[in-house]
Structure 1
Amino acid sequence: MPNDDSQAAGGMQQRPAPARAQGGALAGIRVIDLTQFEAGTSCTQALAWLGAEVIKVEEPNRGEQGRRASADRPDADSYYFMVLNANKRSVTCNLKSEKGCELLRRLIGKGDVFIENFAPGAIERLGFGWEEVRRINPRIIYAQVKGFAEDGPYGNYPAFDMIAQATGGVMSITGEPDGRPLKPGVTLGDTGAGLHLALGILAAIIQRSRTGEGQRVTVAMQEAMVNYCRIAFAAQLISGRTPQRYGNQSMIGANAPSEAYPCAPGGPNDYCFIYTSRAGEHQWERLLKVIGREDLKADPRFADPHARYRNHVALDAIIAEWTRKHDKHTVMRLMGDAGVPAGAVLDCGELVNDPHLRRREVFVEVDHPVRGRFVIPGWPVKMSASHVPVVAPPVLGADTEAVYGELLGLSADEIAALRAEKAI
């Protein structure tokens, strides 16, 4: 997410380069990463997991602000930072120092992508706006994520995830019909905007292969949220009315059942979501067979999807009477085996310990030099010819010597002198 810190990077520890598969889809692509918090870091982590070399450029003393956000101990980077920065390299660079700025210019000259998500105007004040970076490297893909479009009425406003969700339509359609707008538990505004930006960067890389030229790629978090609300806008076109909050019901058409039904033993997440398609009666009839209520086929209250929606309160009570007798996993299995769409409400603890998801590397155990071994979410995109192992995020400045020495050709003495001058 955009932030109010105009610096970018520094540190002292060294480590080998992160493991990157030789056949990684983005092998050979180098990303100069000045992102902080979540929106930008989600984008660069996705690129790293696709095989790009991501060099995270950080302020020398503190690093990016996410390292200390929600920290539980003073001697270690936060887990918030950890889950957003795997597979990256970290170098330090003081952008308040002219020598530090010169180092960044040299990195830009070696890069394919430059990405930042500082507060509006911050990167320009540092001297690394689009025109300047393009002058240094005409082939660079210059990527930015901000809260709002720079040419709009809110262009200078700071933003975080929930601001984007509020202003992009998401909160207006989330919640119970008679309740207040709610922010969804997932950080759509941040990670959602970051993944939109990653898609734009990939397209720009492909276009550059034809034209030889770089370009600027921008995503406004507000506008990314609008894109997530397309079905709501379809509902608006159908009805001519602004979509309201519908709880767990579909907003684009009357449908029932469509609800999270309570299951045994009655814990906070002991629910299973059951849904049947409006496209025909086959899923509805299968559901009735599973719950032993085929007599309801003849009930006029439930004769068709519209009738079921009008009487969904009564229908929900009937289904809930059955689901309460079973645990959520049994409900999902019985419904799924019968061809009825159903999903147990799985909490984060259940997911992280799921052996199937572990096998697929949706969750991966990493080994960190300070935190030790712990589990983080991995990359959900699986490619038959590109596999990049997930490795722990870097401690601050872990790759300073390696990157400046190998990539920029600086000697150990030159690097030591830059440290003494606080340029890194």
Structure 2
Amino acid sequence: MSAILENITVIDWTQNVAGPYCTQLLGDLGATVIKIERPGTGDDTRQWDSPSWDGEATTFLAFNRNKKSICIDANDSKGQEIIKKLVEQADVFIHSLKPGSAEARGLGYEELAAINPSLIYTAISAFGESGPLRGNPGYDPLIQAYTGIMSVTGNPGDDPARVGVSMIDMATGMWALTGILTAIINRSKTGKGCRVGASLLETGLAWMHLPLTNYMATGKVPEKIGTATTMVAPYEAFRTKDNWVIIAAGNNRLFSSLCHALDIQKVLNDPRFETNKERVIHREELHQAIEERCIEFNAVELIKILQEANVPCSSINKTNQVYEDVQIQSLEIIKQIEGIRIPNFKIIDLPFRIDSQRSMFRLPPPLLGEHTTEILNDSGYSSEEIELLRSSKVVGG
């Protein structure tokens, strides 16, 4: 699978999570990814070093494998010329600057497309490319708040809660990847490049697709409902003697199986619970009736009973349980990487396979400016020119 994009070169002028995740995905698929970083400091996430792994920030390590790092001062005219030279032979250029910032440096779409008409120029922003907030900075939790995700996350009456993973950032990277791959397909037909845009805000709105559709249909503002979902019941967490178990009976057949497995025939025969619509209306009464039975078991016992009846269910696992889980280990998505500077380094691979194959780990997350000399040499700069650029601090590493 790592050979799919082996002829694609990506110039990656992004930092934090959304952009680097997008370019890491491209690298995992075989693209050559050249990561441009600020001399001296590099990607902000290099300083997000709590926690760290063998002295290196885990956030940077998680989103920057299969890349080469070059340090360029993009505020210097000579640095801008280096970037333009890299773009001449590139297929994709991607940045995560505020709208207008690349253009102010002479690195906007029009300028770079004039150099390389087949270039796929990709811009990732926080609030999008139009509107009064277009120039504002934004991060994952801010967008979770702005788009209403926090308003539907958590239990009724609780303080606001962020979804506990970087879902906005990572999904924005995935949407940007979708746009880039679509553009690559289109370029194979037309020979022309294009401009791809993605934003954290639009990603947040995409995640709110169903709550917004429900609001537009009913005029009712969705609220927090804990582990449940608005349109199906029972579809939530239930207490046991020692833990919680999620039960997802998404249709009448599964509801019947659940009631038979728990020997609660009276619930199955109750007219209040005859259809999913009725079960949703009477969710609280249904929850109480099921939980009265669940509480008689511990979580392991209840899951065994439900799995034997083919009722979808799960314990609410902690991270260590996920890591040690037999099913997850069998998928071989968590890979140990040998022979690099970090002992016992592991990665989370791409969550799909092609012809049963996952991606190939080719390069560890780079040290800051690790490949500056190599990349400049490959771009035609002489050793003397490179030393002059380095001594004038146009490049680093």
Per the normalisation by structure 2, the TM-score is 0.90
Match of 1:248?
227
1:70 shift after superposition = 3.6
Match of 1:392?
364
What CA deviation, in whole Å up to 9, does each residue of 1:279-331 have, x standing for no partner? xx211111112112224333344333344334433432343344345454553
What CA deviation, in whole Å up to 9, does each residue of 1:162-188 have, x standing for no partner? 122222232232233444543211222
Write the letter of the residue equivalent to 2:218. Answer: S
Work out which structure has the larger RCO, using CA pairs closer than 8 Å and 6 or more positions apart in sequence. 1
1:77 shift after superposition = 2.8
Match of 2:63?
84
Relative to structure 2, which stretch is displaced further, 226-235 or 175-184? 175-184
Q: What residue ranges of structure 2 are gaps of 5+ in the alignment?
A: none
Matches within 5 A, 1:255-404: 255-265=232-242, 270-278=243-251, 281-367=252-338, 369-384=340-355, 387-390=358-361, 391-404=363-376
Q: Distance in 2 between matches of 1:102 and 1:67?
A: 26
Contact 1:358 1:364 in 2 (8 A): no
Relative to structure 2, which stretch is displaced further, 121-130 or 224-233? 121-130
Q: Percent identity?
A: 30
Relative to structure 2, which stretch is displaced further, 129-138 or 169-178? 169-178
Match of 2:105 among 126, 134, 144: 126
Contact 1:361 1:379 in 2 (8 A): no
Q: Distance in 1 between matches of 2:53 and 2:303?
A: 43
1:349 shift after superposition = 1.4
Match of 1:372, SS state, is coil
Contact 2:235 2:250 in 1 (8 A): no
Match of 2:56, SS state, is coil
Q: Distance in 2 between matches of 1:104 and 1:141?
A: 15
Match of 2:197?
218
Determine if the alignment matches structure 1 residue 193 to structure 2 residue 176: no
Q: What residue ranges of structure 1 are gaps of 5+ in the alignment?
A: 1-20
Match of 1:297, SS state, is helix
Match of 2:393, SS state, is coil
Match of 1:388, SS state, is coil
Match of 1:416?
387
1:197 shift after superposition = 0.8
1:360 shift after superposition = 2.7
1:260/1:362 CA distance change after superposition, 3 Å: same
Q: Distance in 1 between matches of 2:259 and 2:53?
A: 57
Q: Distance in 1 between matches of 2:281 and 2:143?
A: 34
1:75 shift after superposition = 8.6
Match of 2:344, SS state, is strand
Write the letter of the residue equivalent to 2:150. Answer: M
Contact 1:368 1:392 in 2 (8 A): no
1:31/1:245 CA distance change after superposition, 3 Å: same
What CA deviation, in whole Å up to 9, does each residue of 1:244-286 have, x standing for no partner? 33333322x3x32121123453xxxx322112124xx211111
Match of 2:9?
30
Relative to structure 2, which stretch is displaced further, 187-196 or 238-247? 238-247
TM-align CA RMSD: 2.5
Relative to structure 2, which stretch is displaced further, 84-93 or 408-417? 408-417
Match of 2:128?
149
1:198 shift after superposition = 0.8
What CA deviation, in whole Å up to 9, does each residue of 1:104-152 have, x standing for no partner? 1111111111111123433223321112111221111110111112221
